[in-house]
């Protein structure tokens, strides 16, 4: 209580200092929430891509893609070291793709029954099924189900028709048989259908000129390959590239590396915000506490006269600067929570969750702010503790 | 009650031609329970002597024995503890903490000296009654007059039941009427509790009411008039 009363005695100055810290911690919380949200997405990507090899067309990117002939599936299954291979085909789940999408866009993807026994990335259903689909059935990710307000047994046309569909726009009606648990990563925006339905959607998504010249039932978008236990997946990718022409097997380590580069950028953003808080808040606390020590010379002298030891004075001043840090941190955390919640709420109807304020981030922000107060308070507190009591008592 | 023995203490400031002998070889024995005043003109060394006696300032040489303890041989931490438990202070400017209530100011030395909190609170209540401040014990210093603040400071000086109370111009910032009240209060506490009081003052009328008047000049004792020898 005495700490708070001392802070209250110099309201304006402490208010300004606390505001400085609060702004810093608000920036830290907001940027940190953005980074956490992305980290979750990236972690999901790392987990998904690190346990298998993504095989795409020979001209595809490292994440796969392009069109691959279905007969490559059998060729790859025969490569030594391959435990299982699953065909995949995908297409946009929304006919209108002009809007902004954060992370993975809503996509029609392929059910791969049996893949769950090889994959580290487990998806579970909050209701209905998550796999073993029949043609005409769909399992929806939590975000996509929420966006289209669909539940078990509902019908859904996929891809969803744009406001003004082109004359050649095609979609098909599916029955929702499952809704997935929220993962905060790519599957939240997935509409999972059978390989046949996914191939058809992929074919439908092509321009009419190409669409009319191909048979989508013999084409797939890629192949996910799982290795036998103990097999190095990077080596296996090289082996597939050597033995199966016309495809490109991407070593998982390269994909994971790419994800980690993204992760590094977001960590740097958080660190930058933390440094900003450190500089603004730290200097403000040092300045405030130095002024406080100067103004309270007589008080310090008195305390020493009545028996306070160096450690008592140190403790009192550091506790006061820690309180400034804690109040500033709590205020900043609250403001950060309000901002991130408001933005998340405003973008919820677009299925856009930009921020993820986790308990660990909140605790880090509070510990950081309090620690900042403690560290910034050390020099003024030392100055106070070392004061000669006679000089302090006689000062004006 | 313990005696206080000051043996040939000196306190010098500066060096060479700028050497100032604030206290220059003072030897005194103050009997337990005595109410002594130290008087002298500005710069005579009376406040420096009080600082040395209160372990707030280290003498350049000499020794001080309080209650049989050679206090100048104690470490800084032990001196702080001794100060907290055996010495009470009353200052000219009252020096109450503005963030604390009157009773919390009285209890301040307990914060650093430890001890039984409940018993201390009881003692604080009793002291506040003795100094006539019970009704205002929850007031903050800014809500009290100068005389009332000094009463609180007197109660604070006595909370740890010290061997002696040192006062530095305790009536220096109050009017003459209040000064009389404070002197009477200190005399009563000295008499009733048997606590040794050593006060520094310019006020001749205050000094005239004490048991002993020690006059300093240029850091030395020039006269030592004992009216009452003490009650030990």
Q: What is the pLDDT of residues A341-361, one digit of tens each?
A: 999 888 877 667 788 899 998
Which residues, 6+ apart, have CB-to-CB distance to A161 below 8 Å? A95, A169, A171
Kindly indicate the confidence band of residue A148, based on its pLDDT and cuts at 50, 70 and 90. Answer: confident
d(CA A137, CA A134): 6
Closest residue in B to A313 (Cα) is: B112
Q: Does B74 touch chain A (CB under 8 A)?
A: no
pLDDT at A293: 81
pLDDT at A103: 63
| pLDDT tens digits, one per residue of A280-315 | 777 888 888 888 888 888 888 888 888 888 889 999
The pLDDT of A359-386, averaged and rounded, is 88
pLDDT at B232: 45
Q: Are A71 and A269 in contact (CB under 8 A)?
A: no
Total count of domains within chain A: 2
Which of A2, A301, A312 is nearest residue B112 as measured by Cβ atoms? A312
Q: By percentage, how much of chain B surpasses pLDDT 90?
A: 49
Closest residue in A to B140 (Cα) is: A5
Residues A379, A383, A384, A387, Cα dihedral to 10°: 170
Nearest to A256 by CA among A88, A119, A52, A33: A52
Does residue A187 share a domain with residue A268? no
Does residue A56 share a domain with residue A38? no
Read off φ and ψ for residue A56, nearest 5 degrees. Answer: -125, -170
- Expressed as residue numbers, the domain containing A97 is 52-250
Task: Please determine, for residue B134, whether its predicted confidence score (pLDDT) is greater than 90.
Answer: yes
CA of B82 vs chain A CAs: smallest distance (Å)? 8
Kindly indicate the confidence band of residue A86, based on its pLDDT and cuts at 50, 70 and 90. Answer: very high
Contacts of A9 in chain B (CB under 8 A): 98-99
Does residue A88 share a domain with residue A216? yes
Does residue A98 share a domain with residue A12? no
- Which of these three, A204, A222, A250, is where a domain ends? A250
Read off φ and ψ for residue A289, nearest 5 degrees. Answer: -70, -35
Coil/strand/helix, residue B225:
strand
Does residue A117 share a domain with residue A234? yes
CA of B56 vs chain A CAs: smallest distance (Å)? 6
Does residue A388 share a domain with residue A365? yes
Task: Please determine, for residue A99, whether its predicted confidence score (pLDDT) is greater than 70.
Answer: no
| pLDDT tens digits, one per residue of A157-192 | 989 888 887 877 888 999 999 999 988 788 888 999
Q: Is the dihedral of CA A168, A174, A176, A178 positive or negative?
A: negative
Kindly indicate the confidence band of residue B2, based on its pLDDT and cuts at 50, 70 and 90. Answer: low
Q: Are A56 and A222 in contact (CB under 8 A)?
A: yes
Kindly indicate the confidence band of residue B156, based on its pLDDT and cuts at 50, 70 and 90. Answer: very high
Which residues, 6+ apart, have CB-to-CB distance to A282 below 8 Å? A372, A375, A376
The pLDDT of A327-348, averaged and rounded, is 92
d(CA A21, CA A15): 10
Bridge partners, A228 (sequence order): none
- Which of these three, A214, A233, A250, is where a domain ends? A250
In the block, residue with structure tokens 């992370």: A103
- Averaged pLDDT score across all residues of chain B: 89
Kindly indicate the confidence band of residue A97, based on its pLDDT and cuts at 50, 70 and 90. Answer: low
Q: Please, which residues 127-166 of chain B have a Cβ atom closer than 8 Å to chain A?
A: 156
Q: Does A389 touch chain B (CB under 8 A)?
A: yes
Task: Please determine, for residue A10, whether its predicted confidence score (pLDDT) is greater than 90.
Answer: no
Does residue A278 share a domain with residue A384? yes
CA angle A5/A6/A8 to nearest 5° reads: 60
d(CA A92, CA A202): 8
d(CA A51, CA A122): 12
Q: Please, which residues 308-337 of chain A have a Cβ atom closer than 8 Å to chain B?
A: 308-310, 312
Does residue A183 share a domain with residue A59? yes
| pLDDT tens digits, one per residue of A199-229 | 999 888 887 777 777 787 888 889 999 999 9
The pLDDT of A67-73, averaged and rounded, is 86
Subunit contact B109:A307, Cβ cutoff 8 A: yes
Look up residue B111 and give its two tokens: 């914060």
Which residues, 6+ apart, have CB-to-CB distance to B167 below 8 Å? B89, B90, B91, B157, B186, B197, B198, B199, B200, B201
Q: Does A302 touch chain B (CB under 8 A)?
A: yes
In the block, residue with structure tokens 């500005």: B42
CA of B17 vs chain A CAs: smallest distance (Å)? 23
| pLDDT tens digits, one per residue of A39-59 | 887 887 787 778 888 888 877
Does residue A160 share a domain with residue A303? no
Q: By percentage, how much of chain A surpasses pLDDT 90?
A: 24
d(CA A144, CA A146): 5
DSSP-derived pairing of the beta strands A172-180 and A125-128? antiparallel
Q: Does B84 touch chain A (CB under 8 A)?
A: yes
d(CA A66, CA A79): 22
A337 vs B160 pLDDT, higher one: A337
Does residue A190 share a domain with residue A96? yes
Does residue A235 share a domain with residue A278? no
- Averaged pLDDT score across all residues of chain A: 85
Contacts of B49 in chain A (CB under 8 A): none
Subunit contact B84:A307, Cβ cutoff 8 A: yes
Contacts of A302 in chain B (CB under 8 A): 91, 95, 97
- Which of these three, A227, A250, A273, is where a domain ends? A250
Subunit contact A302:B91, Cβ cutoff 8 A: yes
CA of B180 vs chain A CAs: smallest distance (Å)? 25
Task: Please determine, for residue B102, whether its predicted confidence score (pLDDT) is greater than 90.
Answer: yes
Does residue A239 share a domain with residue A322? no
Q: ω into residue A159 within 30 of 0, thus cis? A: yes
Subunit contact B108:A306, Cβ cutoff 8 A: yes
Subunit contact A298:B89, Cβ cutoff 8 A: no
């Amino acid at each position: 209580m005495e700490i708070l009363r001392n802070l209250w005695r110099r309201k304006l100055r402490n208010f300004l200092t606390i505001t400085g810290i609060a702004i810093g911690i608000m920036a830290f919380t907001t940027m940190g929430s953005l980074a956490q949200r992305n980290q979750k997405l990236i972690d999901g990507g790392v987990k998904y891509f690190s346990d298998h090899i993504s095989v795409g067309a020979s001209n595809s990117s490292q994440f796969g893609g392009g069109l691959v002939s279905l007969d490559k599936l059998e060729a790859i299954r025969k490569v030594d070291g391959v435990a299982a291979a699953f065909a995949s085909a995908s297409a946009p789940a929304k006919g209108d793709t002009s809007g902004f999408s954060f992370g993975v866009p809503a996509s029609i993807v392929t059910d791969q029954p049996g893949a769950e026994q090889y994959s580290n990335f487990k998806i579970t259903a909050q209701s209905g099924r998550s796999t073993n689909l029949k043609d005409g059935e769909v399992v929806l990710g939590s975000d996509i189900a929420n966006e289209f307000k669909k539940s078990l047994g509902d019908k859904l046309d996929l891809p969803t028709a744009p406001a003004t569909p082109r004359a050649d726009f095609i979609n098909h009606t599916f029955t929702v048989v499952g809704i997935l648990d929220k993962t905060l990563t790519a599957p939240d925006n997935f509409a999972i259908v059978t390989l046949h339905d996914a191939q058809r959607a992929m074919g439908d998504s092509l321009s009419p000129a190409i669409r009319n010249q191909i048979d989508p039932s013999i084409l797939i978008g890629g192949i996910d390959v799982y290795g036998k236990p103990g097999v190095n997946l990077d080596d296996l990718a090289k082996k597939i590239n050597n033995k199966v022409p016309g495809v490109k097997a991407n070593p998982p380590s390269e994909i994971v590396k790419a994800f980690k580069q993204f992760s590094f950028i977001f960590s740097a953003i958080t660190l930058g915000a933390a440094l900003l808080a450190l500089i603004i808040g730290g200097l403000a606390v040092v300045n405030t506490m130095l002024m406080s020590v100067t103004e309270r010379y007589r008080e310090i002298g008195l305390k020493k006269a009545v028996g306070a030891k160096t450690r008592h004075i140190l403790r009192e001043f550091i506790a006061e600067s820690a309180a400034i840090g804690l109040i500033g941190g709590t205020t900043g955390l609250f403001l950060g929570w309000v901002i991130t919640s408001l933005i998340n709420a405003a973008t919820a109807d677009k299925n856009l969750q930009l921020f993820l304020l986790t308990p660990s981030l909140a605790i880090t922000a509070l510990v950081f702010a309090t620690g900042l107060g403690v560290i910034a308070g050390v020099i003024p507190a030392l100055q106070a503790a070392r004061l000669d009591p006679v000089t302090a008592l006689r000062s004006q | 009650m313990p005696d206080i023995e000051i043996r040939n203490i000196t306190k010098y400031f500066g060096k060479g031609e700028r050497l100032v002998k604030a206290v220059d070889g003072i030897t005194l024995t103050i009997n337990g329970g005595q109410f002594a005043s130290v008087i002298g003109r500005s710069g005579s060394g009376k406040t420096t002597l009080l600082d040395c006696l209160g372990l707030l300032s280290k003498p350049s040489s000499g020794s001080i024995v309080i209650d049989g303890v050679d206090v100048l041989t104690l470490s800084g931490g032990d001196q702080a503890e001794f100060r907290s438990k055996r010495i009470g202070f009353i200052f000219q400017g009252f020096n109450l903490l503005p963030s604390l209530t009157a009773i919390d100011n009285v209890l301040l030395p307990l914060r650093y000296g430890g001890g039984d909190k409940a018993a201390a609170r009881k003692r604080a209540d009793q002291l506040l009654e003795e100094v006539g401040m019970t009704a205002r014990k929850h007031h903050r210093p800014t809500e009290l007059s100068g005389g009332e603040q000094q009463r609180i400071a007197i109660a604070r000086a006595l909370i740890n039941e010290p061997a002696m109370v040192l006062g530095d111009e305790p009536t220096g910032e109050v009017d003459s009427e209040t000064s009389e009240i404070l002197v009477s209060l200190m005399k009563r506490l000295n008499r009733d509790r048997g606590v040794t009081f050593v006060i520094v003052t310019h006020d001749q009328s205050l000094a005239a009411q004490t048991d002993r008047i020690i006059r300093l000049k240029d850091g030395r004792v020039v006269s030592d008039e004992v009216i009452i020898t003490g009650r030990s």
